[in-house]
Amino acid sequence: MFYSVIIPALNEEKTIGRTIQCLKAQNFNRDQFEIIVVDNASTDRTSEIAQHAGVITVLEKTIGTNVARNRGIKESRGDILVFLDADCEPHEFWLSTIDSLLTSNSIDAISGPYDYGFTGIQRILSIIIYDYGFEIVGPIMSFCFRKKVCTMMGGNFAVKRTAITEIGEFPIIAFWGDDTAISMKLMAKGKKILFTRMLKIKSSNRRFNSQGFVHSSFVYFYHFFKMYFTFHV
């Protein structure tokens, strides 16, 4: 199996270099995966840094996370498409874990939570909410309302190309809830998605720093539920 790691990036010059370094340090055969940075109309040095790091770099002038992901899919050649945010730092066994879970289970896509680097009470709350809460909210909603959904973190998921072929491109919607819409489209086609803490990776907590922990958490859940009840697959 060949893997394509696709990284949408909009003005990520401060983090993109470290993200690429983490990918190059994977305990995974480098000949088995490519790294594609989709510069989503950045006005900083994002493309320059990515090119200097020796990874595939393409420019997508239309801004939008799923727009960039779709462009990355078109430029890729992997059997498995892996999506990573430009401010994330996957641990060295990240790709190996994805490979093991996707090839040994009858699932089509896999996702996991983020480690935002919180301390104290915020760390405890983030584990309860984003690790365990996100793991159970999808099955609960699917059972209660008979409309399938799974939590999917847009910057930390992988999906088989065959599954994407069936749903077409990712839905072009606003940033918030775009990953929820992807999971709904996949599950509407009978695809199985696994959300697991085994795939947890480090991510920037910049949104929490700028908006506050409570407000940011509310925004995430609000858009999850809004997308669930308004998006038609």
Query: Over the stretch 55-114, which tens digit does the pLDDT of each residue have?
Result: 999 999 999 999 999 999 999 999 999 999 999 999 999 999 999 999 877 899 999 999
For the entire predicted model, the pTM comes to 0.95
Is a pLDDT exceeding 90 seen at residue 209?
Answer: no
Residue 122 has pLDDT above 90, yes or no: yes
The owner of tokens 């996100």 is 134
Q: Determine the pLDDT at residue 210.
A: 85
Average confidence (pLDDT) over 33-60: 97
How buried is 16 (Cβ within 10 angstroms: 0-12 exposed, 13-18 middle, 19+ buried)? buried
Q: Is 129 exposed, middle or buried (0-12, 13-18, 19+ CB in 10 A)?
A: middle
CATH number at residue 61: 3.90.550.10
Query: Please, which residues have CB within 8 angstroms of residue 123's CB and are 6 or more apart in sequence?
Result: none
d(CA 188, CA 167): 9
Greatest extent of the chain over all pairs of C-alpha atoms, in Å: 50
What pLDDT score does 226 carry?
94
Is the pLDDT assigned to residue 229 strictly greater than 90? yes
Q: Please name the residues in contact with 165: beta carbons below 8 A apart, sequence gap of 6 or more.
A: none
- The C-alpha torsion from 58 through 173 and 11 to 203, rounded to 10°, is -100
Give the span between the Cα atoms of 224 and 23, in whole angstroms: 29
What's the pLDDT at 58? 97
Per residue in 133-180, pLDDT tens? Answer: 999 999 999 999 999 999 999 999 999 999 999 999 999 987 789 999
167 compared with 207, residue with greater pLDDT = 167
pLDDT computed for residue 103 by the predictor = 85
Domains held by the chain: number: 1
Mean pLDDT (the chain, rounded): 95
Kindly tell me if the per-residue pLDDT of 207 is higher than 90: no
> What range defines the domain where residue 114 resides?
3-230
Strand order in the sheet with 114-115: 88-89, 201-203, 114-115
CB burial string 22-43: b at 16+ within 10 A, e below: bbeebebeeeebbbbbbbbebe
Could you give the 3-state DSSP secondary structure of residue 148? Answer: coil
**pLDDT confidence of residue 40:** 97
